[in-house]
Structure 1
Amino acid sequence: MRASKRPLGVVMAWVRRQPPKVKAFLAVVTGMAALVFIRFIVHDHDNLFVAAEAVHALGIAVLIYKLTKERTCAGLSLKTQDLTALFLAVRLYCSFVMEYDIHTVLDTATLVATLFVIYMIRFKLRSTYMVDKDNFALYYVVIPCAVLALVVHPSTSHNIANRFSWAFCVYLEAVSVLPQLRLMQNTKIVEPFTAHYVFALGVARFLSCAHWVLQVLDTRGRLLTALGYGLWPSMVLLSEIVQTFILADFCYYYVKSLVGGQLVLRLPSGVV
């Protein structure tokens, strides 16, 4: 096992020594290489979006295991779970009134699981909740997302309230993990189950971003026109990219920790 990990460990050590600009360049190149790889092995790129939702649900399943078996919610951000429930509820409403499909079923299951996590943190395991560390002000993300949704939303034939709701949940999803990242930055140490959950979010965000980018390439840009006109199509893609890069740094240290055989993830200052 050690011999198989050694080459990857050498690569990770080399990357760690590089300046921030080189790391950013390497991250972009790696992402582009992954997109090319996915494009050739996944024939129906719609499956990527389903996979993203499935990975998100798997991450929440990891949280439920942690809460029910270890009886602690230490290291988890209740505010991120609140934001997740909010954007899922809004997206579920949009799905019912605009396009009922497999995503509706997946979002329903994920929302139910998220509400269970919120219930456990708020009532059953309240004594282990790090309320002093979970200090991200939600209005910093909810209000800007709502204002942005009023300004930039789909130009489809749907009701204006539905179009606003659709845009709001897209923007809110992009930044919903910020309270969890703030909490981890405050504690500096991330226990395994929380790390698995956040890494699952990172993978889900990347798959979702890959879905949109590859769909645009496959349709030669026609998908952007199908989404509407104006700034909205560009904002959808930008939101997906923002979600991916918000978690990219954490995912790097997660993989580095696994390569080093560490069960507990320790984050240096300024990572998230």
Structure 2
Amino acid sequence: MKGARKPIHAVATWVRRQPPKVKAFLAVISAMAALVFLRLVVEDHDNLFVAAEAVHAIGISVLIYKLTKEKTCAGLSLKSQILTALFLAVRLYCSFVMEYDIHTLLDLATLGTTLWVIYMICFKLKSSYMEDKDNLAIYYVVIPCAVLSIVVHPSTVHHIFNRICWSFCVYLEAVSVLPQLRVMQNAKVVEPFTAHYVFALGIARFLSCAHWVLQVLDTRGRLLTALGYGLWPPMVLLSEIIQTFILADFCYYYVKSFVGGQLVLRLPSGVV
């Protein structure tokens, strides 16, 4: 095992020494290689979306274990959970009035779990909540998403209010994890269960992004046309990509810490 870790550690050390532009280039190349691998290995690319939801469920399970067994919410961002509940509630509304399907039930279950997490942080485990570290104002995230959704939204036949809500939940989901990343950056040290949860979010977001990108490639761009015209189709795809790259840096340090056998993740300055 130690022998296997040596080349991985050497590669990680080399990457860490590279300038930011080289790191960004390597990240893009790695993402493209992963997409090619998934396209070759996964026959039905719709399964990637199912896999993303499954990984997200695993992350939530880890979070539930942390809150019920460890009896602490230290390291968790209440504001990220509130933003998650907000975009899920809006997406549920859109699902009910626009396209009710199995994903509506999955979102309902996720919303219920998220509301439970919020309840635990606000009432049962309030003493361990790191309020001073959770200092990214929610309106810094919500207001830009609201304004953008008014300017750029779907061009479907649905009511204008429903179309704006649809775009709002897409944009808000892409950046809802920012307060959680701010908490971890402020704390500098991330305990294992919080790190597992955020890493699961990163993997889920990548699989979801891969699903969209590969679907666009499979349909030769017809999927984007089906979403409407104007700026909305590329904005949907861009939102998926943003979700992935927001968490990419954290996932790198998570894997690096795991390979090094460290139980506690230590983040350097500038990760967020």
Q: Tell me whether the two structures share a fold, i.e. TM-score over 0.5.
A: yes
Deviations 1:191-246 (A, max 9, x none): 00000011011101101110111011000001110000000001001111111111
Q: Is the 8 A contact 1:50 1:103 kept in 2?
A: no
- Matched length: 272
Matched residues in 2 for 1:175 and 1:17: separation? 28
1:238 aligns with 2:238: yes
Match of 2:160 in 1: 160
1:85 aligns with 2:93: no
Q: Is the 8 A contact 1:152 1:232 kept in 2?
A: yes
Match of 2:264 in 1: 264
Matched residues in 1 for 2:193 and 2:247: separation? 16
Q: 1:34, CA displacement in angstroms?
A: 0.2
Match of 2:56 in 1: 56
Q: 1:101, CA displacement in angstroms?
A: 1.8
Runs of at least 4 residues of structure 1 off by over 6 A?
A: none
Match of 1:198 in 2: 198
Match of 1:174 in 2: 174
Map 1:119-198; keep pairs closer than 5 Å: 119-198=119-198
Matched residues in 2 for 1:134 and 1:119: separation? 16
Q: 1:102, CA displacement in angstroms?
A: 2.1
Runs of 5+ unmatched residues, structure 2:
none
Runs of 5+ unmatched residues, structure 1:
none
Q: Is the 8 A contact 1:92 1:104 kept in 2?
A: yes
Match of 2:225 in 1: 225
Matched residues in 1 for 2:172 and 2:240: separation? 11
CA RMSD of aligned residues (A): 0.9
Matched residues in 1 for 2:60 and 2:98: separation? 26
Matched residues in 2 for 1:235 and 1:260: separation? 38
Q: 1:36, CA displacement in angstroms?
A: 0.3
Farther off after superposition, 137-146 or 104-113: 104-113
Normalising to structure 2: TM-score of the pair? Answer: 0.98
Aligned partner of residue 136 in structure 2, secondary structure: coil
Match of 1:37 in 2: 37
Normalising to structure 1: TM-score of the pair? Answer: 0.98
Map 1:8-27; keep pairs closer than 5 Å: 8-27=8-27
Farther off after superposition, 254-263 or 154-163: 154-163
